[in-house]
Amino acid sequence: MICVIVCSIKARKQIFRSSNDQDLEAFIRANGPLAVKRHKFLEIRKMTKSFKDKLGQGGYGDVYKGNLLDGSPVAVKVLKASKGNGEDFINEVLSISRTSHVNVVTLLGYCFEGQKKALIYEFMPNRSLEKYVYNENALQTSSPQLEVEQLLDIVTGIARGLEYLHRGCNTRILHFDIKPHNILLDENFCPKISDFGLSKLFLKKESIMSMLDARGTIGYIAPEVFCRNFGGVSVKFDVYSYGMMVLEMVGGRKNINARASHTSDVCFPDWVYKQLEMGSSLGLPNGVTEEENELARKMILVGLWCIQTKPSDRPSMSRVIEMLQRSIEALQIPPKPVLTFPVGTPPESSTL
């Protein structure tokens, strides 16, 4: 089994050096999941009623609402033609097809016809977490702000999903792009990790990943990507991104504001520490109870532990789940991390 995985990873790296679609198709047939149905692009067009209902867009493609033949709603992501080398497509198909977890979105099918590539997922009626966690979004839309207990359930669910990706699969999966935009919510607001376009597979026996390129979204990228003196790239990259996202969720604001000054960008964790010391409820609505305030403080402490500068100082996702289940009295306030990675990047360069 291990030999097959090693060969698969090596073969995929070789495929990425070629833009030959025939090679990509052969690779998918040899290594892709047989349980996931392959569709023709004509079926994708019918499924989405000629791409009538657009749900959203990202750096790798646009997402449309569709329906299967039995009427079941689905989300269809059509990858941009400019991504012709197929790396993001292969990443999604091979990574997510290896998963089966309540907190990871389910891949139902895919389309591959030359430059036409699409991925079919289960439909998430409550869209992405991004719609709910920022105060400015809550004011501009009809979406209600999440309750504190809902935030805790979502934070815990995401942690369980990441723990599964890091430990529960045949190979470890590093997501490399954990952020509110990539967390989808079902009808019960159960969180599901999505968008595996930047993910990487590596063997369980490996703890450090060799990387030649920086990847991720500015504001969520761990310091070791820019300065290897802090340590190698590992599953602790996702832990850092998760921690920053948790702080955003409780703080009700983005950790980097493209319209703000560089000083404002740098001080987000410091701002969180200061609010914690002052006993502030951060971005929570007025009138929160003492119990809700304690839950918020617990999530803040966990988030701050997750964004420690050295990867070795960050908890594993298993440890994060334990911390979220403990009382706040059992949690210590972590030291302030020394943030030395680039900030203030213009919005057009926000994704690497």
Catalytic residues: 177
> Helix, strand, coil % (nearest 5) of the chain?
45, 15, 40
| 209 burial type by CB count under 10 A (0-12 exposed, 13-18 middle, 19+ buried) | middle
Strand partners, 55: none
Provide the 10 A C-beta neighbour count for residue 195. Answer: 28
- Residue whose structure tokens are 């591959």: 112
Distance CA 34, CA 130 (A): 33
- Residue whose structure tokens are 């990706």: 165
- Residue whose structure tokens are 């003492």: 290
Closest CA to 210 of 234, 226, 240, 238: 234
Return the H-helix or E-strand segment holding 303: helix 290-306
- Residues in contact with 114: Cβ distance below 8 Å, sequence separation at least 6, in sequence order: 21
Residue 37 known to bind ligand: no
Cβ atoms of residues 266 and 339 within 8 Å: yes
Provide the 10 A C-beta neighbour count for residue 57. Answer: 13
* C-alpha pair distances (Å), 148 with each of 88, 135, 251, 254, 296: 35, 14, 12, 18, 7
Provide the 10 A C-beta neighbour count for residue 291. Answer: 10
What are 296's two structure tokens?
Answer: 């918020």
CA atoms within 13 A on the CB side of 16: 12
Sheet architecture: strand order including 73-79: 37-39, 107-113, 116-122, 73-79, 61-67, 54-58
For 150-192, the DSSP string reads: HHHHHHHHHHHHHHIIIIISSSEEE-S--SGGGEEE-TT--EE
Which of helix, strand or coil describes residue 208? coil
- Extract the annotated binding site: 77
- Extract the annotated binding site for ATP: 77
